[in-house]
Amino acid sequence: DGGITQSPKYLFRKEGQNVTLSCEQNLNHDAMYWYRQDPGQGLRLIYYSQIVNDFQKGDIAEGYSVSREKKESFPLTVTSAQKNPTAFYLCASSITVGGGQPQHFGDGTRLSIL
């Protein structure tokens, strides 16, 4: 089945530790996105990528880094510089950035601080 796979589902991080969240898609989509959702809040864009080897900062990129070495993969690293990383992280993809296509989401990773 085609879709977006995020792993792990739950992740615990110690203070000062970097962690990487995985996002893989087999939909052949060019565009991929990372969002953060906090309780009672809307989704906020962290980073997005329009095409392989290209990515752009979203609204809250500080403390995060990404790479897009393959079309299928868009991992997100939460660095120790992110002081409040506890949140629900959602990866999404769409055929392209432009046009009227919606985005489709993976089932998310919940990150908590130990």
Looking at the Cβ atoms of 48 and 64, the one nearer to another protein is: 48
CB of 8 to another protein, least distance (A): 15
What is the contact surface with another protein in residues (CB under 8 A)? 33, 35, 40-43, 45, 48, 58, 88, 90, 96-100, 102-108, 110
Distance, in Å, from the CA atom of 79 to the CA atom of 61, rounded to the nearest integer, reads 11
Nearer to another protein, 10 or 15 (CB): 10
State the minimum distance, in angstroms, from the CB of residue 107 to another protein.
5
Spatial CA neighbour of 6 closest among 74, 79, 63: 74
**Which DSSP string corresponds to 58-113?**
-SS-TTEEE--SBTTB--EEE-TT-S---EEEEEEEES-SSSSPPPEE---EEEEE
d(CA 78, CA 113): 12
Nearer to another protein, 58 or 63 (CB): 58
CB of 29 to another protein, least distance (A): 13
In whole angstroms, how close is the CB of 74 to another protein at the nearest point? 15
